[in-house]
Structures are given as C-alpha cells and as structure tokens.
Amino acid sequence: MSETLVRSLSGAVFGVLVIGMVFYHPWTNAALWAVVSALAVKEFKNGARRASLATVWGFASFVALWMCMVIGLPWQGSGAYEPSVLLSLIFIIWASDSGAYFIGKPFGKHKLMPSVSPGKSWEGLAGGAACAAGVAFLLWGPAMMWVGPLMAVLGTAGDLLESAWKRRNGLKDSGTIMPGHGGVMDRFDGFTFTVPVYFVLLSLLPFEFALKAILP
C-alpha cells in the first residue's frame, strides 16, 4: 500500500474521531485533548532521553496551559459550548496540512528549511496557505480570509519546531500511534502556536461562524 494511501486512510479515521469527540459533548472534547496532551508529554519524555527533569516539567507545563486553551475554545464568545468555534480552527489546520502535502510533494522544488525538515518547501507552504485561505473564506467570509494563511504559517512553524526537536534527538517520528503520520506530536504539531493565537484573536475580532448554521 502506498504511503499516500496509508496516510489518507489513517487520516480519515483520525479525522472522524476528532470531529466526533469535539462535536458530541464538552466532556468528550475535554477527554480528547487530555489524552492528546498526556501522550505528547509521554512522547517528549521518551524521545528526549538526554533532557533534564526540569525540561520535561517545563514542556509538561506548557502542554497543560495549551490544553486548557484548546478545551476552552468552544466556550469563547457566548459562554455556551459551541463546537463550531474549535472545529473551524481544526478544519483550517487540516486544510493547510493537506494543501502543503499534496502541492509540496509533487511540485516542491525550493526547500523551506532543509537542515530541519527536508520535505518542507516554499511551494508546499504556499499551497497550504491557499487552501487555508479558501476554507477561511467559507467559514468566516472574505473579510477574515487572512486568518487562514496566518494559521498556515503558524502551523508550519510548529511543525518545524517539532522537526528540529526530532532531528536533535535522532528521531524519525515522535511515536507510532498513527500509520503514515507518526505520533501525537507529529499529528498535532500544527496546533502548537495556532491555538494560543486563535484564542487571542477570538477575543479581539468579530468572528461569525458559518458552521453554526450547519451543525444541529
């Protein structure tokens, strides 16, 4: 089975699971991100074998703060649980990842940071930003299209940060939980910087969520 097919199939199963848990209930949403956070800390501890205890605790503290923000995202705005708020960000990040992969894989000629992540290219970044802009247009309208490329750039920055960590520790993947995708840190690295920035933007800008009209 080709890498692209394996990646697509496992990504589809993963996507349905994440969407379902975010959408179903606040407690399933909280459980999802608690598990993701715990697994990320475990992968970091196992992968960074030379890291001091203070470094591991520092990473765990950051992840705990990040977890609180991502769990709190659906509550921002009206104060009621609105999964469309978080799902909108998830769809933007996934659109960016997909655009970067499917554009960068065949057309990527100019490497973004070859010493950190040889597979990343400027063409892939542009493809990801374009896809994210298109999804942002559908979710929030033309005035908020710029949020898509911003999230694409921040997502790529998180990806590169995790790639640098793996390279420093001689790792190909952070784990093996997802065929074709690696570990939890590999799959959620794009959320590292996007979640805090999105959290702040929600309190500053007039977002109108198109998903509210679709979700029951």
- What is the model's pTM? 0.90
96 phi-psi bin (left φ>0, alpha ψ -120 to 50, beta other): alpha
Whole-angstrom distance, CA of residue 22 vs CA of residue 184: 17
Among 21-25, 37-41, 51-55, 172-176, the range scoring the smallest mean pLDDT is 172-176
Question: At 210, is the pLDDT very low, low, confident or very high (cuts 50, 70, 90)?
Answer: confident
User: What is residue 182's three-state secondary structure?
Assistant: strand
Whole-angstrom distance, CA of residue 130 vs CA of residue 135: 9
Question: At 7, is the pLDDT very low, low, confident or very high (cuts 50, 70, 90)?
Answer: low
Considering the chain, what is the average pLDDT of its residues?
A: 89
Per-residue pLDDT of 170-209, as tens digits, reads: 888 787 776 556 789 988 999 999 999 999 999 898 787 7
User: Residue 22: enclosing H or E segment and its boundaries?
Assistant: helix 3-24
Q: Is the pLDDT of residue 1 over 60?
A: no
CA nearest neighbour of 198 among 154, 135, 132, 142: 154
Question: What percentage of the chain exceeds 90 in pLDDT?
Answer: 62
Q: Is the pLDDT of residue 8 over 70?
A: no
Give whichever of 13-17, 21-25, 167-171 has the largest mean pLDDT.
Answer: 21-25
**pLDDT recorded at residue 132:** 97
Q: Where are the alpha helices (DSSP H) in 48-168?
A: 53-72, 83-107, 122-140, 147-168
**pLDDT recorded at residue 216:** 53
Give mean pLDDT, residues 2-28. 82
Q: Residues of 8-43 as b/e, b for ≥16 C-beta within 10 angstroms?
A: eebbeebeeebeebbbeeeeebbebbeebbebbbbb
Among 86-90, 133-137, 202-206, the range scoring the smallest mean pLDDT is 202-206
Query: What angle is formed at CA 104 by the lines to CA 158 and CA 9, rounded to 5 degrees?
Result: 80
